[in-house]
């Protein structure tokens, strides 16, 4: 029997990282899950503990990373990813996209491993081109409140490409658009869990702005197949992975009210600074190069996600306080 391929996943206890762990364990890789649990939840990967091809390492990737033995793949998914997170811990967000990726690239170079980095549609900022192709350079305010996340990801892409061109490192760059599914944090400030949480608690749904801004939502299982396809491909330029089915936030609120069969009203508040007005991926490259396209319809994915949120305890559902980051902040 051939030895298992070994993969390191950073941010492994987060929403996307935990689904990556599931996928690679199922594909019979040996998974090293790394997370310092600043925003990740150990509950997301507890079901994998004890398996002979899974190990958890509680570590901050902005510090030196040492993985003994051989290593075949690295997937760098460590980063605060919700606006509330990166507004509360802006410096940590910048560090994980700079020091963190530098450590991962150094490890990949030492181990001769292939590395895939999680970039984001946020590199396009508040786009002036619609839909967004990979060739679009973006419209980002580097010193705005969201700049710490946007620019961390843009730097991450730049240093990854530099390691590829200068050191010949095997690199892959995925630009992830809005993704949803089980294990999303209910109170992380993103529209989908916010709407479902409000509906389940019997609260009115809050729309920021007039609701005309658009998003495109990709179910997490579709994203996982896209990530795996890109990792195993020979394509080294950035690639969009997302669902091009676009909907306005106002229409999305209506869908959630219908899904949850609630009779809540919609209330409107001011739009946050630099919030993107439209977001839809052009996935032509993914379709042509990877033969990938999303398969899960939004109505189907929302039902599964709604069932997950309904399974939360009353305390979890009513938890409105956000994470306390005091232990991670140096003042």
Active site residues: 149
Residues 6+ apart with CB under 8 A from 319: 186, 187
Q: Where are the alpha helices (DSSP H) in the chain?
A: 15-26, 83-88, 90-96, 99-111, 147-167, 191-200, 220-231, 249-260, 284-285, 298-310, 314-317
Residues 6+ apart with CB under 8 A from 117: 75, 76, 101, 104, 156, 157, 160, 171, 172, 173, 174
Q: How many residues does the chain have?
A: 331
Indicate the DSSP class of residue 29: P
Q: State the maximum Cα–Cα separation within the chain, in Å, rounded to a whole number.
A: 60
């Amino acid at each position: 029997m051939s030895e298992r391929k070994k993969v390191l996943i950073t941010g492994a206890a987060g929403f996307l990282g935990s689904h990556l762990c599931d996928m690679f364990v199922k594909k019979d890789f040996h998974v090293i899950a790394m997370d310092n649990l600043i925003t990740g939840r150990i509950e997301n990967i507890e079901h994998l503990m004890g398996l002979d091809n899974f190990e958890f390492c509680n570590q901050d990737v902005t510090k030196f990373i040492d993985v003994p033995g051989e290593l075949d793949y690295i997937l760098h998914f460590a980063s605060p990813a919700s606006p509330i997170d990166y507004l509360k811990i802006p410096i940590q967000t910048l560090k994980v996209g700079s020091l963190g990726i530098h450590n991962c690239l150094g490890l990949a170079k030492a181990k001769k491993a292939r590395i895939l980095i999680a970039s984001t549609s946020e590199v396009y900022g508040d786009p002036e081109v619609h839909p967004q192709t990979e060739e679009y350079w973006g419209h980002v305010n580097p010193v705005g409140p969201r700049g710490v996340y946007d620019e961390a990801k843009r730097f991450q892409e730049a240093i990854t490409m530099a390691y590829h061109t200068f050191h010949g490192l095997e690199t892959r760059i995925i630009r992830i658009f809005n993704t949803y599914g089980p294990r999303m944090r209910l109170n992380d400030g993103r529209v989908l869990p916010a709407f479902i949480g409000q509906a389940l608690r019997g609260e009115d749904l809050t729309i920021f702005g007039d609701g005309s801004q658009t998003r495109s939502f990709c179910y997490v299982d579709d994203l996982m197949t896209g990530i795996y396809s890109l990792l195993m491909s020979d394509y080294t330029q950035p690639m969009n992975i997302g669902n091009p089915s676009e909907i306005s936030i106002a229409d999305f609120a209506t869908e959630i009210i219908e899904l949850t069969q609630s009779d809540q009203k919609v209330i409107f508040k001011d739009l946050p600074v630099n919030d993107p007005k439209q977001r839809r991926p052009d996935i032509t490259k993914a379709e042509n190069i990877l033969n990938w396209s999303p398969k899960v319809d939004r109505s189907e994915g929302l039902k599964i996600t709604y069932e997950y949120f309904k399974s939360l305890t009353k305390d979890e559902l009513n938890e409105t306080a956000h994470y306390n980051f005091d232990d991670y902040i140096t003042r």
